Structure 1
Amino acid sequence: MKVFIAGAIKIKELKKIVIEKLDGIIENNFEVLLGDAEGIDSSIQKYFKSKNYRNVEIYCTNREVRNNFGNWKVISVFAKDNERGRAFYTVKDKKMANDADIGFMIWNGESEGTLNNMINLLKSHKRVCLFLNNENKLLLLKEIKDLENVILSTNLKTVSLYKKLLKKYSFQNKIENEQMKLI
């Protein structure tokens, strides 16, 4: 089983539930696909290193590895020359979503990258184990509708971001919830 783990750069500490899930991944010897960013990526890298866990692959863009604390195997994904900023790293994230069997996302309700990763996984019919960091709550998302229900319980800024991402990445999903139509 290949698990794509990602989360917000703003989240620096791992909560107890996240650590329990990481320990379960170690116990099952699942292959971990992990990015090289600060925040959650770095925190999880440090945790796996402290446990001497070797079944980890670090994904980076254009051979520019920002963090690899465990000296794990690196998978480099190449972006087009004109891609900058978020688009530059989205190439790597899409590859991780494609290579994974399931996702484990640690989200603060604001991170565009984490939200985009969930959309990519769900539209590929892959489940997402979602940890809502601000609420200390774990959810299993099986389809895009499950993500929409989570979005509805957040703020208007997150709803707008979600709609923007759906349009930006040409995901043809119609939001049927009446509350969404009113916003």
Structure 2
Amino acid sequence: MTKIVMISGSRSIKDITAGLPSIDRIMELKFSIIVGDAGGVDKLVQEYLRRSNYLNVKVYFALWNGNGKPRNTTGYETVGVAGNYVDRDKMMCSVCDYGLALWDGTSRGTRDNIDRTGRKTKIIRI
């Protein structure tokens, strides 16, 4: 069975170069990748994966009150999660086998994802 890696990170991050060796390794291992639809790390990771022709990707987004629509998807398959962004993140954390967090050291959302996934997440501080 294919392992699932959740890649998450701070919206403030504009450059994911420090995380590319880890992302390349994830692709080399042919793991499934799940990522959110926010700006910052989510969007940059999707763009990198698209440029790399990596297709084993799903983008999770919040449905809010049933009216939510995916924002940044770069053409990948999407998964709507009932609720808000916290609910989306909790769902992603619950289905992943591993995590990769590209963190600015202050983002509470990324910190919460790191806490939810515990030792199965590699943290790259940017």
TM-score by length of 1: 0.64
Is it true that 1:66 corresponds to 2:42 in the alignment? no
Amino acid at match of 1:78: A
Unaligned runs of 5+ in 2: none
Q: Which has the higher strand share?
A: 2
Q: Deviations over 1:25-62 (max 9, x none)?
A: 11111000100000000000000000110000000011
Supply the RMSD in Å over aligned alpha carbons: 1.0
Q: Which residue of 2 aligns with 1:7?
A: 9
Amino acid at match of 1:128: T
Q: Which residue of 1 aligns with 2:101?
A: 105
Instruction: Find the aligned partners of 2:85 and 2:123 in 1 and give their Cα distance.
Output: 21
Is it true that 1:132 corresponds to 2:113 in the alignment? no
Amino acid at match of 1:61: A
Amino acid at match of 1:54: L
The 5 Å alignment of 1:1-183 reads 1-15=3-17, 17-62=18-63, 63-69=68-74, 71-79=75-83, 88-122=84-118, 127-133=120-126
Q: Deviations over 1:146-176 (max 9, x none)?
A: xxxxxxxxxxxxxxxxxxxxxxxxxxxxxxx
Unaligned runs of 5+ in 1: 80-87, 134-183
Amino acid at match of 1:5: I
Q: Percent identity?
A: 30
2:16–2:102 contact (8 Å) kept in structure 1 = no
Q: Deviations over 1:58-108 (max 9, x none)?
A: 000114101111x111111011xxxxxxxx200000000000001100111
- Which stretches of structure 1, 4 residues or more, deviate above 2 A after TM superposition? none
Q: Higher relative CO (CA 8 A, sep ≥ 6), structure 1 or 2?
A: 2
2:62–2:85 contact (8 Å) kept in structure 1 = yes
